[in-house]
A and B are shown apart, each in its own frame.
Chain A
Amino acid sequence: MVVTVIGIIRAHNLFAVVMLGGIYSFLMATVLVVLDAVDVAMTEAAVGAGMSTVLLLAVLHLTRTREAPLRHAPVIPLLICLLTGGALVYGTLDLPPFGQPDNPQNLHVAPYYLENSIEETKSPNVVTAVLASYRGFDTLGEVAVIFSAGIGVLILLSRRRRREMVVEDEGRSRK
């Protein structure tokens, strides 16, 4: 994944960037399977590698596929990134050890879900039970976000179609 990201930073052909993005998403899905998050891995492979790649390719079809070279040396962005990275590495030193069952994040509500979800929701898949039942309002909010994003995309793209029609009409009336 690290190599793919370096490739994305260096590539100037946007087509290659999008393809590397797809590879990156599949690698991410594989890592998620290793980390026991099978549902998330499936979603990442379908949505991250599938849908976003298709959307990006559609946009490349509508625009252009070469990136202009950088105009000035990226000193300030590099500095910001190094500072952020340094702060985050400093932060990892205090995080609990990897993969231990008695870490604080594994002692909160997760044991309750694991013990009771099969009685309360009859679903053997705990992720589904939590998503649809215990945290159904989160999912409702997610649906609201997708709905508003869809409306936004429709508004942005339909205005253009209307204007094209107006231009066509003007062309016709001139003839």
Chain B
Amino acid sequence: MNEFLADLNYWVTIFLLVGGLYIITAHGNMVKKLVGLAIFQSSVYLLFISPGKILGGTAPIIAPGFDVYSNPLPHVLILTAIVVGVATIALGLAIVVRIHEAYGTIEDDEVHDLEAD
């Protein structure tokens, strides 16, 4: 049972990653694609943070009375990743706004049709 729960962590991560990938590839709406990208990114956060957890440990803030701390390194890397992710999404949304002005739509297929005409 314990082993199953340990792997469940990774499986949820994988489901989120695949779900994000599916939204990015299958859906044509660009805002939805960006939400999918955000989900994809945050599944990677989970993938990094969950191996750093140590059972019985506590948050890596040194305090008397605690000896076991979780691994602080992934936390640092993911803090950077979150902020970079938001920067990516902000840039993507700016591009979506420009596309909406140029073509009057935010659907992949419709932009394609307008280009073909």
Contact = CB atoms under 8 A, between A and B. Distances in A.
B97 A9 contact: no
Interface in B84-114: 84-91, 93-98, 100-101, 106-107, 109-110
Contacts, number: 267
B117 interface: no
Interface string B28-44: 11011011101100100
A92 B13 CA distance: 11
A39 interface: yes
A98 B9 contact: yes
A48 B75 contact: no
Given A21-B38, A130-B72, A96 B51 contact: yes
A38 B57 CA distance: 13
Contacts of A71: 28, 109
A17 B82 contact: no
Interface string A117-136: 11000001111001100010
Contacts of A55: 86, 89-90, 93
A100 to B, nearest CB: 7
Interface in A24-77: 24-25, 28, 31-32, 35-40, 43-44, 47-48, 51-52, 55-56, 58-60, 62-64, 67-68, 70-71, 74, 76-77
Interface of B: 3, 5-7, 9-12, 14-23, 25-29, 31-32, 34-36, 38-39, 42, 45-46, 49-55, 57-63, 68-80, 82-91, 93-98, 100-101, 106-107, 109-110
